[in-house]
Amino acid sequence: MDYSQFLAMRQEIGVLLVFLLVFLYDTFMPKKALNATAGFTAILFSIFTVASFVWGNVGTVDAFAGMYSTSPVCSMIKNILNVGVVIVLIQSVRWTNGDMMVVRRGEFYELLLVTLFGMYLMISARHFLLFVIGLESASLPLAAMVAMDKNRYESHEAAIKYILTAVFSSAIFMMGLSFVYGLAGSLYFEDIALQLGSQVDTLLVVALAFVIAGVGFKLSLVPFHLWTADVYQGAPTSVTSYLSVISKGAAAFAFLVILVQAFGQFYSAAWEWMLYALIILTITVGNLFAIRQKNMKRFLAFSSISQAGYIMLGVVGCNEMGLAAMMYYILVYIFSNLAAFGVIGAIENQTGKVDMTDYNGLSKTNPWLACAMMLAMFSLAGIPPFAGFFSKFFIFTSAINQGSIAIYVLVLIALINTIASLYYYLLVVKAMYISPEEPQIATFRSALSERLGLWICVGGVIALGIVSFFYDAILEATANSPMFAFIG
């Protein structure tokens, strides 16, 4: 066996290394030093992130007989996720330093890093066995993380909902896989594509539907999304923010990889239309639910559902442009959503309040927090000059590249939905800025880590769009990707 193959996995190995160091730190350091676990992890991971940017890209390499594959695109999406994780880590410092978390501080970070590792595998897997391992290691530890808030009942309820539906979903997913295996005789993506030919039969369609359902669960596409809101609401805010951006970003990419690499030739025959239906449902239902939410975390859960629909628009285009637009969207979405969760977390940590009505008049008492929240909302709603506008515009542009009238209709529906989404994002702005009621939250100064996290997010929200470097870099990484060879 050629052990140099492991070099291709250097990003995964990096994550494992960080995990190991954190684990060792948590296990062997004296109790006093454990207060610094959070900072230690954040710094360590930041170093890893930088290193990964510098040395992570090894070009297009297949390893382990093609089960694992990395390419500039894969390394780019991993780097993007790393950036998000850095922000999550920074934002979570205050929460993990709380009294309740004293004994579990280390666990949180270890679990988080394991899930990240799982997501890396999902991204790089070119074989369904590896993919399933990645998927499960990305979702099972999350259940434990969701349940981390031991004293809150909601946290447990969220965890039970998550674990049961997740296992159900993976059962369905694997059922689908078993059919695929029966039809193709292999679990390699490429082999599947080669073996299946272009003949579509009913069993394959059902298998495909099950596979889509399984991954759609991670992405929380409607109608596989029902766990999302409850889990987001119940989980600790840091976990929610992690769940909503990182896990979603990884799943979106993996989804695209599976669809185009394993089932690429059925694009126009089968799953193009499935995606249309799912996108329309996801965006619309997500928006409809978001409209009347009062709990901020639940509200953002539904907003993230509809955002997932927009992310999927990058998949239907099925070309490099779409891939780039999707990755860019994920990047921007990470910053915007984490800014929102950063504010929610800061306020929750200080006052324990998470209702929208609690935000009334926030601009008077905490103008900076309110401003950060407003920018996040504008960016999520796609208002220029914030990054969200650019990502939305590019994802629509890439979708329309496909050129059929149907895609125009699809994009039009998505665009009309942006009006509804603008409505509920503006509701938050309205509560903070316009509502005449007495402010519910007294003026306070948030922790340094929270402020740092917010500044990074706000900086990203403003700069990511206007500075074209980021988009160009992503597009460069995706250029000439061989991924779309099977799109017929």
Residue 486 as a binder of other proteins (CB under 8 A): the answer is no
Residues 182-201 that bind other proteins (CB under 8 A): 182, 185-187, 200
How many whole angstroms separate alpha carbon 15 and alpha carbon 13?
5
Among 6, 23, 423, 484, binds other proteins (CB under 8 A): 423
Could you tell me which residues come within 8 angstroms of residue 75 by beta carbon, excluding any fewer than 6 positions away? Answer: 11, 52, 56, 57, 58, 477
Residue 389 as a binder of other proteins (CB under 8 A): the answer is yes
Among 16, 21, 270, 280, binds other proteins (CB under 8 A): 270
Residue 143 as a binder of other proteins (CB under 8 A): the answer is yes
Residue 359 as a binder of other proteins (CB under 8 A): the answer is no
Residues 426-445 that bind other proteins (CB under 8 A): 426, 429-430, 433-434
Q: Do 136 and 211 form a contact (C-beta atoms < 8 A)?
A: no
How many whole angstroms separate alpha carbon 76 and alpha carbon 342?
24
Could you tell me which residues come within 8 angstroms of residue 13 by beta carbon, excluding any fewer than 6 positions away? Answer: 6
Residue 263 as a binder of other proteins (CB under 8 A): the answer is no
Residue 36 as a binder of other proteins (CB under 8 A): the answer is no
Identify the DSSP state of 61: E
Please say which residue, 237 or 449, places its beta carbon nearer to other proteins: 237
Q: Do 26 and 117 form a contact (C-beta atoms < 8 A)?
A: no
Residues 224-253 that bind other proteins (CB under 8 A): 224, 226-227, 229-230, 233-234
Looking at 111-119, 133-141, 346-354, 448-456, which segment touches other proteins (CB under 8 A)?
Answer: 133-141
How many whole angstroms separate alpha carbon 16 and alpha carbon 20?
6
Among 23, 64, 181, 368, binds other proteins (CB under 8 A): 181
Residue 292 as a binder of other proteins (CB under 8 A): the answer is yes
Q: Long-range contacts: 181-184, Cβ < 8 Å, 24+?
A: 181/128, 183/207
Q: Do 347 and 353 form a contact (C-beta atoms < 8 A)?
A: yes
Among 88, 212, 219, 250, binds other proteins (CB under 8 A): 212
| Size of residue set near other proteins by CB under 8 A | 104
Q: Residue 250 Cβ, how far from other proteins at the closest point, in Å?
A: 18
Alpha-helical (H) ranges within 243-292 are: 248-257, 272-291
Identify the DSSP state of 197: T
Q: Residue 316 Cβ, how far from other proteins at the closest point, in Å?
A: 14
Please say which residue, 89 or 312, places its beta carbon nearer to other proteins: 312
